[in-house]
Structure 1
């Protein structure tokens, strides 16, 4: 009888521990005040491709777990950016940008949030998978945030386009060349 009672207690405590470590669910809204820009540079001048936030879905389910002090892991936290939503300021630059990211074949850029590691209050390192033109790479970069009913999350993610097997277009017989490093600058305003 003692063994049966011991087994029941162990099962109860394991179920309790599992419940403590299970993923929590939450829905967040990305508000229209949010901004996302991809900035690139050529040997002549820089260019900005601004994302129209109207292309985002309004609500995102978040599945997360706090599994260590200061560390939050996420499951299926994917921000899908429709490549049609980017405007680089002129049709020729738009065409070059879409050719670079192969938007006809790959119409979305995916940013999957994997983990946030708190560094100090208001600052964390985000671990994300970025998928561009069918190639996925993991990146870690710093973000700044404020918490509350309305949260602000901002950061700059530096990427090397060669990591995504992208070939920048060359203009004027190779005299104008896009540099390999681009940055994704974002300021997300999120309602919890």
Structure 2
């Protein structure tokens, strides 16, 4: 089985023993990764792709085993809004304005906990706090683990931008309206430091 999956499984097994197990490691998100925010309007759709080479690697990971799950502390993926490319300068500008980037220049995905899905092989359930424009919401996200030495983490998260007090922009005198629902498509290939 994959190195990182075995690592998580061993840690989960340790949870059946009395006492907490706490540890620290670090991962690198490799250039093969992608993170895309998919947006629809009433006439079109577009993808805002994050340039993963602008991530602050390595990412420290702090966790402990608690009640058959991994609980994380201060383990975050920080995404600078300016590193998203939506395909054109005009759409980029609208996207940055939507996120109120002059006041809140980053989107933060903070990993809170992970549980193994006992019913689906290579799947986990991750609790993630997402901070957009200064507002934090929590989500449970199913993630699939693939790969060998480098682990690929795949998942899709549907968000309503109004949950973050964001108003969908309107263009062309209100004829073009951005849908409140957006999709975050994660394909993160990670490697543990020292492995």
Q: TM-score, normalised by structure 1?
A: 0.87
2:99 corresponds to 1:101 = yes
C-alpha displacement at 1:147, in angstroms? 6.6
RMSD: 1.4
- Structure 2 counterpart of 1:151: 151
Q: Which whole-Å deviations, capped at 9, do the CAs of 1:13-54 have from their partners, x for residues lacking one? A: xxx95xx41421111111111100000100001110000012
Number of residues of Structure 1 aligned to a counterpart in Structure 2: 174
C-alpha displacement at 1:65, in angstroms? 1.4
Give unmatched runs, 5+ long, in structure 1: 1-15
Q: Which whole-Å deviations, capped at 9, do the CAs of 1:148-171 have from their partners, x for residues lacking one? A: 531110100110000000011100
Aligned equivalents of 1:104 and 1:66: distance in 2? 39
Aligned equivalents of 1:138 and 1:84: distance in 2? 24
Give unmatched runs, 5+ long, in structure 2: 1-16
Aligned equivalents of 2:31 and 2:175: distance in 1? 39
- Structure 1 counterpart of 2:49: 50
5 Å matches for 1:11-90? 20-69=19-68, 71-90=69-88
Aligned equivalents of 2:28 and 2:113: distance in 1? 19
Check conservation: 2:109, 2:128, Cα contact below 8 A.
yes
C-alpha displacement at 1:146, in angstroms? 3.1
C-alpha displacement at 1:95, in angstroms? 0.9
Aligned equivalents of 1:63 and 1:147: distance in 2? 23
Aligned equivalents of 1:23 and 1:157: distance in 2? 29
2:166 corresponds to 1:173 = no
Q: Which whole-Å deviations, capped at 9, do the CAs of 1:51-79 have from their partners, x for residues lacking one? A: 0012101201111112223x111110011
- Structure 1 counterpart of 2:133: 133
